[in-house]
Amino acid sequence: MQLLHIPSSATPAAFHRSTSLRSARPLHVQGISFVKSIPAFPSFSSQSHSSPAWVSHSSSVCNSVSPEVATSQAAVSEVTSQTAETDVLKALSQIIDPDFGTDIVSCGFVKDLIVSKTSGEVSFRLELTTPACPVKDMFEQKANEVVAALPWVEKVKVTMSAQQARPVFPDNLPAGLQTISNVVAVSSCKGGVGKSTVAVNLAYTLAGMGARVGIFDADVYGPSLPTMVSPENRLLEMNPEKRTIIPTEYMGVKLVSFGFAGQGRAIMRGPMVSGVINQLLTTTQWGELDYLVVDMPPGTGDIQLTLCQVVPLTAAVIVTTPQKLAFIDVAKGVRMFSKLKVPCVAVVENMCHFDADGKRYYPFGRGSGSQVVKEFGIPNLFELPIRPTLSASGDRGVPEVVADPQGEVAGAFQELGVCVVQQCAKIRQQVSTAVTYDKSLKAIRVKVPESDEEFYLHPATVRRNDRSAESVDEWSGEQKLQYTDIAEDIEPEEIRPMGNYAVSITWPDGFSQIAPYDQLQMMERLVDVEEKCTTPMQR
């Protein structure tokens, strides 16, 4: 992956106040201009103005000149320090993040900047979005180079770190999920295509890239995880005080599966299975994870919908095989994720080909994976070869990427891992659909995702358009909720995201309404409120 550079003479339009202390997403950071005058950069630590060299210099000056001159000298020193910081930030702004297309200063990656122009020493920390960032080494190298190129710099110290693990919407999530940054679903909607193999090897690839990873085996009827990995402790434990589940581990990756619950395979009805999956997933002490890989069960029923609603899935990886029958089932899964607003970021076509006698053979035909990519606009396609070792490694409990980290299969999974890291970072940085209640306007504000469109809805309109079974008869379609049943001055008590496709709105009567974003876009809008908000006074 290539790093893009701005010419050294280019001056970035804005630096961000969050450069040293805040860890908010770059798209939400507010900038300050330094075109007319050099700013004080209030976000930087005061330590940048109190290094030993500066203290020693200030003390000698104060002992030899009058208070007025000393004050003037201190002001000059402060300006010099600010100028040095500006030089460093300008140099670092030449480095462009290839995923976001923005310089690392504007992205808010530069933290804890300490500059001493007298001694020529500069130290700072680059806080990336994930420890598995595939360009972190290049960032470190380029940061050293561009800062060391400044004429007054003698020594550069760069420290690399990653943001604290947290979901995009941490509020109102179960405690066990509040410290997980990204949840990646691996799905096929068809059994026997190698979905579990892809999920496990992807998880260990991400762990090998430096990320904190967990695997959740969501197949209660036929869990595969106990066969594919070999942890010493093969039973999940319960924390008696907190009433939470302690995951088992294998080679640093946390594992939870119904197969580790001492029950083997489940024999139970669908609603019970949904409850078991919910309990296993939400009451587990996952700790801080950068990626939780969910091995989805086949199908598009209650279990899959429960997972998509309980967990804010960041992205999905689709697994298929070359056969036409696999494509038909996979297409159902892609449509399900599309309706639930879960981005499908990659297609893995398993068992594609094998090489023999210097030739490549495709025993099951070709085109299923590329057809999925073409028909549904999924950006990335990865092909896995037929390898006896890939199947054997899963059977003996050692993932192939661990057993042969330099092999062809491991190389393919490395490319998939880089893709997942990059796509998840992009998704998190995008401005997600925001649904909030403005008390001053008495209106619900909606911002459409990946668009500048923003509009307002009357709370009573949203409540009256509820399409649940409580408001509309499921069999006849008759409207049970009448217009007059809802007071005109009703206000929501709480609005919170539900997965990636809807919000949950709690009303004063205790009713919890699920409002999909697509439905909100179709409702009658408050035009007069929008006109007020577009005036200069409101901006």
- The more confidently predicted of residues 93 and 222 is 93
Residue-level pLDDT at 314: 87
What dihedral angle (degrees, nearest 10) is formed by the CA atoms of 235, 240, 241, 243? 70
**How many CB atoms are located within 10 Å of the residue 266 CB?**
17
Mean pLDDT: which of 65-74, 82-91, 202-211, 231-240 is highest?
202-211
Helix pair angle (270-282, 302-310), 10° resolution: 30
- Strands (E) in 195-243, as ranges, are 213-217, 237-239
Listed range (108-122, 126-140, 324-338, 506-520) with the worst mean pLDDT: 324-338
Residue-level pLDDT at 434: 65
Residue-level pLDDT at 57: 33
Residue-level pLDDT at 2: 39
Confidence category of residue 10, pLDDT binned at 50, 70, 90: very low
Q: Which runs of consecutive H residues, i.e. helices, occur in 93-219?
A: 136-148, 195-208
Residue-level pLDDT at 177: 86
Instruction: Tell me the pLDDT of the chain averaged across its residues.
Output: 77
Residue-level pLDDT at 34: 28
> What global pTM score does this model have?
0.66
Residue-level pLDDT at 41: 29
- The more confidently predicted of residues 64 and 166 is 166
Residue-level pLDDT at 530: 57
Read off the DSSP letter of residue 458: -
The answer to whether residue 412 scores a pLDDT higher than 60 is yes
Residue-level pLDDT at 430: 60
The encoded tokens of residue 38 equal: 């050099």
The encoded tokens of residue 131 equal: 């420890």
CB 189 within 8 A of CB 175: no
Give backbone dihedrals phi and psi of 283, rounded to 5 degrees, phi first: -100, 5
Helices (H) and strands (E) in the chain, counts: 15, 26
Confidence category of residue 16, pLDDT binned at 50, 70, 90: very low
- Compute the distance between CA of residue 23 and CA of residue 10 in angstroms, rounded to an integer: 26
